[in-house]
Amino acid sequence: MLEPVDGKDTDPRLMEALMFEARRRLRGGNLIFVAAFAAGCSAAGHQNPGGDGGDADLSSPGSPGSPGGDMAMGTTGSGERIDDLDHCSASIKNIGTPARKGAWYTYSDMMAGGAFTNPSGMTFTPSMGSSSGMGCAARIAGDGFNTWGAAEGFNLLDPSKLPYDASAYKGITFKAKANVAMSLRVNFPNKDTDMSGLVCTKCSDDFGADVAIGTAWQQYTVKFVDLAAAGWGMPQPASFDVKTIYSIHFQVKTMPFDLSIDSIDFLK
């Protein structure tokens, strides 16, 4: 999750998040407004959620490409498939009730000197080397993000970034591996912690869980009942509202990092 800077309310990353959201909402829209917004906030992003998948430094945290995804069987051994990237597309699978629509993106703390080495451009491109050996994975790699780190993830109901009701599920499972053993933060921005919900005044203190991952592919489980926020967000919600999830994010703080995510399912 994002953390407050020196306890100040004027966290420049809020401006980054604002820019990210402006770009997400205006993709293909009023470029003059975006340029003016960027000049005024001067803290926005690296890649914005709205192309064919992309990456972002919290100046534009994320760039989930054209939402849509592949039609596919929605049942797995652990529950309901969200995405497995076997299609090697940045879009998540267009399944579920309602049908989920989103695409992978990246974002970061925008530290000077920080850089993604994968994906290397403005478009999020899944990498060959899935957990099954037969498709792609969502891989990010980089170094120099020394404040709170970097992340990848996707929205669940784009293009309007609507809240998704996940109350039919107990949590998620996913497969992951990294270049070194590290702690991975899995966050679930929702209406109480994401600025899109118009509730929080200090946003991005998302409910999530820390998962210790290793260097070989392994499946991990995160249950909604185990989620917690750091406690610095305002107002602080009493509990996690599983009916209003916007996104699922995978965040790293270890530098340098090389993280791959695959086979994300809702747990029933």
What integer pLDDT is reported at residue 76 of this predicted model?
55
Of 191, 212, 211, 213, the closest CA to residue 203 belongs to 191
Reduce the DSSP state of residue 246 to 3 states and report it: coil
**Quick one: how far is CA 46 from the chain centroid?**
14
**Confidence (pLDDT) at 102:** 97
* Residues 121-160 pLDDT 10s: 888 999 999 998 889 999 999 999 999 999 999 999 999 9
In the chain, where are the structural domains located?
Answer: 65-267
**65-267 is a CATH 2.60.120.430 domain:** yes
> pLDDT digit string (tens) for 188-216?
999 999 999 999 999 999 999 999 999 99
For the cut 60, the answer to whether the pLDDT of residue 14 exceeds it is no
Going 1 to 147 to 24 to 137, the CA torsion angle's sign is negative
Q: What is the pTM of this model?
A: 0.77
